[in-house]
Structure 1
């Protein structure tokens, strides 16, 4: 599959304008009176890579990636209107021109206003860089921005002290920087009954319908689902889950495809005191590539060059341990399978990551991580690729507001299929971050 290299600086410049406009659209519904000042950081870092786009051996290009940006973190207190915003936005430039200048973002915002107990208006949005095609490495020329916005009202009734009826109506908008054929608008209507069985157990039934319109391809999707759900708190552990059935119908001109099956989710989280935690989650969804379901599933990337309808099966486990006041470790393992229904292709991923942090001195912290990922493409599992990555870093807090950082890392990919891309990358990064308020 060819690389999705962008065509010159004009494409990036227009994408920058679209990102900034998307950010305005995302944050506008959050306009509330902030009760406390926000935490605002400015930062700059430089990253050198000897293979910036993770090309095959013999065609590597080295470059310096310079990044300057702003970070914000804010959450309002309880009240009629509540809101939260957090993340970074940066301008990125490449010293030797291997890629075009761009705006990069990892930003989330949410908010709701509830003037009375029967009506609530909610909004949420995100701007994030995503992988364009999963059959190429995660590199600058294989990333694009995705802007997501969702907003709408909820109507709430209380038939009894233990029962709640909710009708949610939400408009969702998804826009991509380059893969505009995946831009979509959708209207989601959900009815929900929830019952409080005991102080620690609640559950109920829900039914929803989503009408999805792909703007460029004129493909229309209708997704219907019905499920039962529960939340149960038991000691230091909590269970949550849902089980139901989903139908997804895709119509594009004379072509009609139907996908249906059982869907659900089961998760367990446990906390041992202040130092140890663990979680496990299984999920099966019938969805489309412009949805935000990948935000809830670690290790999942949608292939934006594939068709819209996809069945996702995912399993994730993880644990964190605070060994001492100075040392902490975290481990996660995830497995995902994506079945693209119209094309009949399957992608499987198994990934794991271990990270460790240790405070060496009062103002100096060391960090290290190692990760492994195995990706398999196709039904016969012939195209199998293994990726190994490792990094070490130091964070030095010069003052209460000023932090300096340095890190070094390596990544390598090997493949079973002859002709598949194999690469090696070494990189080093230096950065500074200053808290304005």
Structure 2
């Protein structure tokens, strides 16, 4: 079968005015941020090699120098090649801007770029028509753009056995081991054993894994002694087609890991506090719906809850929140959208509760097949037991976007 490729490239220019650029509780200053960016996407499939890529590279400039002008970037690359029958080699890379201190507001001074690169082989050994064993090894490297953050090198090995009980149900066992070397000299080992399952119905897909895990930290001799923790871990994914135009999902996970892992990339609403201890017990749960209407409108509802228990400190961070989004065509060439977000956060060690919310409205006009003009405005606010964390912000944005192909 012949391979094919799809490539998309677009460029954009945004101008965003805010009346509180630094999200300050007092002495608010207004500023105009200009962003110029280039976005690319690439898909190739089918064939012995397959890859998907999306990425953005841009430059941000503040007119009144509220923050330094700087480049920004994000990307997702997933690729694999079948080098022999049953033997695959994969290469993945994920780049994100993440917050450094979850107790502070999300401003450029509180963000860093996190890049997670991983590569390695995977071998599928078909024992029988019903039984398959998968061997996988992986090298993973995590780098942060800010020098004060901890980088890591991670080596992962796993063995999975899967048995096909029926045409719609399979289950098995999974054993994995990871060894992480931090640039601080510390080392972290994680051993995990889980039972796995997957069930398919006509309108529902359910998969998951549950088991136990142990994490051991070996600190540099100048910093302290070793530590060890264990507990139950798991992952659950459920997707159900409620009606032909409505999908409902439920997903969650619990892991023993460290701040340099890819957990926050795999679960987008979760964020690590990079100012806390390195090892952490993390939990996340989200549920929501995607609804399409006959007028081409689209509604998304997402409820989420996160928990971070930092194992070498007394800090426990918990958050719950809601995301709402709605969009629909207004005319043949114009569409409108609105979004709302609310998050409640609790910091156990500091005995502090925070509440933050954001609402925005937008219009997009398709001036031609390849050229869009967009405008949006919104309001953000935060309330906290610590007065210096509070802020109110109003903003308005005008953007241009051109699709080259």
TM-score range normalised by the length of the shorter chain: over 0.9
In 2, Cα distance between equivalents of 1:138 and 1:351 = 16
Deviation at 1:135, TM superposition (A): 0.7
Specify the alignment match of 1:10 in structure 2.
Answer: none
CA contact (8 A) 1:298 1:334 kept: no
Q: How does 1:51-90 map to 2 (within 5 A)?
A: 51-57=20-26, 59-90=27-58
Considering only aligned residues, what root-mean-square deviation do their CA atoms show, in Å?
Answer: 1.5
What is the SS of the residue equivalent to 2:109? helix
Q: How does 1:271-310 map to 2 (within 5 A)?
A: 271-310=241-280
Specify the alignment match of 1:269 in structure 2.
Answer: 239
Deviation at 1:37, TM superposition (A): 4.5
What is the SS of the residue equivalent to 2:55? strand
Specify the alignment match of 2:201 in structure 1.
Answer: 234
Q: Post-superposition, which runs of at least 4 consecutive aligned residues in structure 1 deviate over 6 A? A: none
CA contact (8 A) 1:179 1:304 kept: no
In 1, Cα distance between equivalents of 2:125 and 2:191 = 23
In 1, Cα distance between equivalents of 2:33 and 2:43 = 32
Deviation at 1:358, TM superposition (A): 1.6
In 2, Cα distance between equivalents of 1:305 and 1:206 = 33
Query: Which among 118, 122, 125 is matched to residue 154 of structure 1?
Result: 122
1:142 aligns with 2:142: no
The range that moved more, 383-392 or 171-180, is 171-180
Deviation at 1:106, TM superposition (A): 2.3
Query: Which among 205, 212, 216 is matched to residue 245 of structure 1?
Result: 212
Specify the alignment match of 1:326 in structure 2.
Answer: 296
In 1, Cα distance between equivalents of 2:116 and 2:376 = 32
Q: How does 1:6-405 map to 2 (within 5 A)?
A: 35-57=4-26, 59-178=27-146, 180-215=148-183, 217-254=184-221, 255-379=225-349, 382-405=351-374
Name the count of aligned residue pairs. 401
1:204/1:128 Cα in 2 relative to 1: closer, same or farther (>3 Å)?
A: same
CA contact (8 A) 2:125 2:133 kept: yes
The range that moved more, 33-42 or 97-106, is 33-42
In 1, Cα distance between equivalents of 2:6 and 2:265 = 28
In 1, Cα distance between equivalents of 2:55 and 2:365 = 21
CA contact (8 A) 1:108 1:127 kept: yes
Deviation at 1:34, TM superposition (A): 8.0
TM normalised by structure 2 equals 0.96
In 2, Cα distance between equivalents of 1:337 and 1:358 = 34
Deviation at 1:40, TM superposition (A): 0.6
What is the SS of the residue equivalent to 1:260? strand
CA contact (8 A) 1:52 1:140 kept: no
In 2, Cα distance between equivalents of 1:276 and 1:67 = 36
What is the SS of the residue equivalent to 2:272? coil
In 2, Cα distance between equivalents of 1:359 and 1:259 = 53
What is the SS of the residue equivalent to 1:160? coil
In 1, Cα distance between equivalents of 2:3 and 2:77 = 13
In 2, Cα distance between equivalents of 1:285 and 1:384 = 25
In 2, Cα distance between equivalents of 1:84 and 1:100 = 33
What is the SS of the residue equivalent to 1:38? strand
CA contact (8 A) 1:299 1:351 kept: no
1:55/1:170 Cα in 2 relative to 1: closer, same or farther (>3 Å)?
A: same
Which segments of 5 or more consecutive residues in structure 1 lack a partner in the other structure?
1-32
Question: 1 or 2, which has the higher helix percentage?
Answer: 1
